[in-house]
Amino acid sequence: MSDEIKKSLLIIDDDDFTRDMYADVFRGADFTIYEARDGIEGLDIATQKLPDAIFTGIVMPRMDGFTLIETLKKHTNTASIPIVISSHLGREEDKKRAELLGVREFIVRDTTTPREVVTIVSNLFAKGAEYALQFDPYALDAQRMAQQLRINSHFQCMECGEKMLIKVRVDDSKENPWFRMKFVCPKCGWQLP
């Protein structure tokens, strides 16, 4: 990341040890770090500093991660800050909820090394890494796909009815290039995993 402007990351976790550990790892990867101990502190710093990304836990005193994210998404100046959740328990229902809120990545702490976490967060800033595409819901296999995904045949958002877009994330910087696609509502941000 040396040829780019230093990225800032807000790390929110009530556990001092965990927070310090990630702060060190990210500083080592040339990030500017802000730290907060709960959702209230996190909201405060996010609003003041407008970090390039937020890395937050879920279970915290005073204000939990989900309440924080909901609040950030409601305000125009913080709504587009990419958020990564660091989950201790990795519960499916939390993962679903995170997706509905437009959280970019959901990390299960015990199965993801700090190095991998840095890569995942860094990938949020990879240039041209995400593309929004439109497609024809009636062409070729689209209707079969709609059935399998249990989405309506017009590929409309299940929250607001807007036509969904396909978002494709591409990483061709590594030996084994990968891409991943998601259906996303351009209006309310609802996502189909």
Distance from C-alpha of 162 to C-alpha of 41, rounded to nearest angstrom: 35
By beta-carbon proximity to Zn ion, the closer residue of 128 and 193 is 193
Structure tokens at 185: 């509502």
Closer residue to Zn ion, CB minimum distance, 54 or 165: 165
Site residues (vs Zn ion, CB under 5 A): 157, 159-160, 162, 185, 187-188, 190
Smallest distance, Zn ion to C-beta of residue 158, A: 8
Q: How far is the CB of 148 from Zn ion (least distance, A)?
A: 21
Between 116 and 162, name the residue whose CB sits nearer to Zn ion. 162
Least Å from the CB of residue 143 to Zn ion:
21
CB of 188 to Zn ion, least distance (A): 3
Phi-psi region of 115 (alpha: psi -120 to 50; beta: other; left: phi over 0): alpha
Q: Which of residues 88 and 187 has its CB atom nearest to Zn ion in the complex?
A: 187
